[in-house]
Structure 1
Amino acid sequence: MISIPKLLDLQGELFVLIGLGFFFRKRNLLPHDFQKGLADLVIHLILPCNIFHSFFTDQGKHILSRGREIWIVALLTQIACYIFARTALSRISEERRSVMQYGTICSNAGFIGTPIVQGLYGAEGLLLSAVYLIPPRVIMWSLGLSFFLNQKQKKREKNWKKALLHPCVIAVFLGMIAMMRNIHLYPFMEKSIVALASCNTGMSMFLIGMILSELKWRDFADPMILLYTFIRLITIPTVVFVACRLFGVSELVTRISVILAAMPAGGTTVILSEKYKNNVAFASGCVTVSTVMSLPSLLIWGIILK
């Protein structure tokens, strides 16, 4: 079963960081212009470094060969989520559609899910979760990013070009090449990337806190936010669990896949909404409510998977 103290500790870290951003903006210790600048810094520098660094491992091809099964599960899960987002969520109002669509394929598995899996299954679980996260990272910064770009651009060709040239997408492909070819950087370069990558969680959550400081609490009673939370925390992991059982996926891969599929909305949902002038209030509500509700839902999944 999932360790309650560890899960509470992870959730506590998340809300402390959000709380700091909330406090600094609410007390006007930081100007509103700083918010946009921070979003640009995270999107164009800190997050790409975090993504690139996450691919670095001395075991490259060995990890991929061992994790082929979980890689396939992750890829099929992302494809299914993308199809669901494009079809079932297509009739939602335009101002909320892209947020729900992106949030359906983008979770906070990298920040919350990986530590939980490592705590439950040790080094093997950590390696398998790293492999699982490869398809989500590629899709969220290509197909996922197109959900936001489609609102601002008319031509699909331009959307795809902009998505593929996004710093985060470039970081994904460079990271995959480095992992597959077992490339090593000079120590000073690697240390610089690690230093920037380590800022990702703090800066991202701080930014979310700043955005939340300008919201009205009644936004969190929105039925669409509750619907999204149900889809993210219940529907998606249930489908993954049933599919893994039906197709005879190994027990460990099934457990890790379900846990990572049951993660709340990723913080990048809010960051991209801020970046591309989308419905930031709705995005923040989706991230916050799903994160709060992930605590009891993960405990339930822990009991089911025990």
Structure 2
Amino acid sequence: MGFGFVATQILAVSLPILLGWALNKLGIIGGDLDNRLSTLVLNVALPCSILASIDGAEALPDAGTLVLLMLATGVTYVIAIAVALVMAFLLRDTEDARVSYRFAIAFGNCGFIGLPVVGAILGAEAVLYAAIALIPANVILFAVGPLFFIDATADAGRPADRLRGVLASLKTPTLAASVAVLVLALAGVNRLGVAGQALGIVGQMATPLALLITGSSMAHYRPLEMLGNPRAYVAAAGRLLIVPLASLIAVNLFPLSPFLRAVIVLDGAMPVATLGALYCLKSGRDTKPMMQVTFLSVVFSVVTIPLVSLVL
């Protein structure tokens, strides 16, 4: 991948984000419409895109490759969590801010933004592998992510209740579609006929809608307020640069092709997962640090994603 190609792809991804910001300012999208469109993307468009990714695939990966792909993804998340814990400790901010920094550095938006961006840069075939990599990614996100927000001095509930909450969080159409793709790949099925074409048509709206909604969500932030926290810049750098580079070192230990390594690392180089703000609200913590890191990560990812792509 040359710089010109990557820059062109990122520009193509960035312009719809800018359009989404403008449409929000014009009052065309935003508010409840954004929430409903997000639900449409997460529950319908992305699952269809994932399922359609296997239709017509020229060569399906063998079981060993799929296991290695998921194992390597799991290892990169363990590394990301370790990096997040160390960096958040060194930043020495308030407890609420450190909680936000830990989550923001550890977890990227590998589904909502990651799948469309990976597909735009690496091609439609990459969506198939990225979807399979989403399986361990989602399990770790929903299992470990909420634990970052638990107040150690408060009663967090019985372990059985927390386990049921985690399992309930895993019941998402995106994860179900990823598991279905894994099963189909293991079974050697790569032709879905008319159903595959229909899924592809619906799945095509995932990328434009996700990017428009991302831009619209940025319009809710006051830029000066979002830019005034130096620690948020460090946390954003951890998410966008340090974690991907550490992950690149880790995936090189696995006997995977450069293409699959690129899928894993690039998907892990995405901006902060949007669930962070929801977890902050649910746990009663200050959302401002999380919003600051999220905003900065989205803005600077326009530059950092091409850099990571060139390193790959």
TM bin (shorter chain): 0.7 to 0.9
Given that 1:46 and 1:200 are in contact with CA atoms closer than 8 Å, whether structure 2 keeps it comes out as yes
Residue of structure 1 in register with 2:42 after alignment: 47
The code of the aligned residue for 2:70 comes to W
How does the TM-score come out when normalised to structure 2?
Answer: 0.72
Deviation at 1:220, TM superposition (A): 1.3
1:22–1:150 Cα change, 3 Å: farther
Q: Which has the higher helix share?
A: 1
Deviation at 1:227, TM superposition (A): 0.9
Structure 1 residues 174-213: Cα deviation after superposition (integer angstroms, max 9, x where no partner): 44554455599xx8xx98xx59x9497268536624641x
Residue of structure 2 in register with 1:221 after alignment: 228
Listed as ranges, the gaps of 5+ residues in structure 1 are none
Residue of structure 1 in register with 2:137 after alignment: 136
Question: Considering only aligned residues, what root-mean-square deviation do their CA atoms show, in Å?
Answer: 4.1
Given that 1:117 and 1:126 are in contact with CA atoms closer than 8 Å, whether structure 2 keeps it comes out as yes
Deviation at 1:272, TM superposition (A): 4.2
1:68–1:140 Cα change, 3 Å: same
The percent of aligned pairs where both chains have the same amino acid is 18
Map 1:279-290 onto structure 2 (within 5 A).
279-290=286-297
Residue of structure 1 in register with 2:12 after alignment: 9
Given that 1:48 and 1:171 are in contact with CA atoms closer than 8 Å, whether structure 2 keeps it comes out as yes
1:274–1:23 Cα change, 3 Å: farther
How many aligned residue pairs are there?
A: 290
Q: Is 1:20 matched with 2:38? A: no
221, 240, 243: which is aligned to 1:236? 243
Deviation at 1:228, TM superposition (A): 0.8
1:272–1:19 Cα change, 3 Å: farther
1:216–1:241 Cα change, 3 Å: closer
How does the TM-score come out when normalised to structure 1?
Answer: 0.73
Given that 1:163 and 1:169 are in contact with CA atoms closer than 8 Å, whether structure 2 keeps it comes out as no
Q: Is 1:201 matched with 2:201? A: no
1:117–1:92 Cα change, 3 Å: same
Map 1:119-158 onto structure 2 (within 5 A).
119-148=120-149, 150=151, 154-155=156-157, 157=159, 158=161
Deviation at 1:276, TM superposition (A): 4.9
Deviation at 1:263, TM superposition (A): 1.9
Listed as ranges, the gaps of 5+ residues in structure 2 are none
Given that 1:241 and 1:254 are in contact with CA atoms closer than 8 Å, whether structure 2 keeps it comes out as yes
Greater shift, 293-302 or 144-153, is seen at: 144-153
Structure 2 Cα separation of the partners of residues 45 and 294 of structure 1: 24
Structure 2 Cα separation of the partners of residues 83 and 161 of structure 1: 25
Structure 2 Cα separation of the partners of residues 63 and 150 of structure 1: 43
283, 298, 310: which is aligned to 1:303? 310
Structure 1 Cα separation of the partners of residues 274 and 181 of structure 2: 25
